[in-house]
């Protein structure tokens, strides 16, 4: 199993550009989440999904969209990037009854 | 809403000494509590969890944590620190009684001094 994979590993955007951060898992987990990590702020939950077709907002959802059309994939979309979205983004997955979250390796995003 | 507090941004401990990294939480229902560790330029790795039962839980790399319901705390401990324990540690809580989100604390950077 590859576990949780994220692409790209690193991305530079200009203000106003759009992009999609990809996340995929091969463990058949129903729950998937996106977090951003910023110095001094820890990990903050952006959006999460409890199954295909179901998504909900986390702590800091503004500026981000998500969809969950399949169990395996949970892409995070930035429609109009802003410098405040410069961060490291982590995707995670787990089963409803499972307590342990599995994290991807992260995507480092720089918005100029 | 659920929340997690890690009151120390950084903890310094001499190698061989015991270490404690503090965590307190707030939830409306019964908490599931977790500790994760992040090494430089890496993702998060699971260390240990408290679900129910014995208040002292043991995890990876010799770490343990003590759940204290009255103080709403879940401090991470290790009897004898190693230099290789130097990393960023995150406490997290899952509120079973509500929307089942997992919320993380801000993290505590642990420095083990040789």
Q: What is the pLDDT of residues B66-88, one digit of tens each?
A: 999 999 999 999 999 999 999 99
Residue B77's CB: how many other CB atoms inside 10 A?
Answer: 15
Q: Does B107 touch chain A (CB under 8 A)?
A: yes
Give CA–CA dist A59/A7, Å, rounded: 23
Of B9, B32, B43, the CB nearest to A90: B43
pLDDT attached to residue A6: 96
Q: Does B78 touch chain A (CB under 8 A)?
A: no
Q: What is the pLDDT of residues B33-47, one digit of tens each?
A: 999 999 987 888 999
pLDDT attached to residue B53: 86
Going through chain B in order, the beta strands assigned E by DSSP cover: 3-5, 10-14, 19-21, 24-26, 31-38, 44-50, 56-58, 64-68, 73-78, 87-95, 102-104, 108-113
Residue A71's CB: how many other CB atoms inside 10 A?
Answer: 17
Distance from CA of A82 to the nearest CA of B (A): 23
pLDDT attached to residue B78: 97
* Tokens standing for residue A35: 């977090």
| Confidence band for B9, pLDDT divided at 50, 70 and 90 | very high
**Is pLDDT at B99 greater than 70 in this prediction?**
no
Q: To probe the interface with A, which of B7, B43, B50 has the most A CB atoms within 10 Å?
A: B43
- Tell me which residue of B86, B98, B80, B95 sits closest to B34, measured CA to CA: B95
What mean pLDDT comes out for the span A28-50?
91
Among A residues 90-109, those touching chain B with beta carbons less than 8 Å apart:
90, 92, 96, 99-106
What mean pLDDT comes out for the span A17-35?
95
Helix (H, G, I), strand (E, B) or coil at B16: coil
Give CA–CA dist B67/B53, Å, rounded: 10
């Amino acid at each position: 199993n590859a576990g949780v994979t994220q692409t790209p590993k690193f991305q530079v955007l200009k203000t106003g550009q759009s992009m999609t951060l990809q996340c995929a898992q091969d463990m058949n987990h129903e729950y998937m989440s996106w977090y951003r990590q910023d110095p001094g702020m820890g990990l903050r939950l952006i959006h999460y999904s409890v199954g295909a077709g179901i998504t909900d907002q986390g702590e800091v959802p503004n500026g981000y969209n998500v969809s969950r059309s399949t169990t395996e994939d949970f892409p995070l979309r930035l429609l109009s990037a802003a410098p405040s979205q410069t961060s490291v983004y982590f995707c995670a997955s787990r089963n409803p009854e499972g307590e342990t979250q599995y994290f991807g390796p992260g995507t480092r995003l720089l918005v100029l | 809403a659920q929340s997690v507090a890690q009151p120390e941004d950084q903890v310094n401990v001499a190698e061989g000494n015991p270490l404690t990294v503090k965590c307190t939480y707030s939830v409306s229902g019964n908490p599931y509590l977790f500790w994760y560790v992040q090494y430089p330029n890496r993702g998060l790795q699971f260390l240990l969890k408290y679900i129910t039962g014995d208040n002292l839980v043991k995890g990876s790399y010799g770490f343990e944590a003590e759940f204290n319901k009255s103080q709403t705390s879940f401090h991470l401990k290790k009897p004898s620190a190693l230099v290789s324990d130097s990393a960023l540690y995150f406490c997290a809580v899952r509120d079973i009684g509500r929307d089942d989100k997992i919320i993380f604390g801000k993290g505590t950077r642990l420095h083990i001094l040789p």
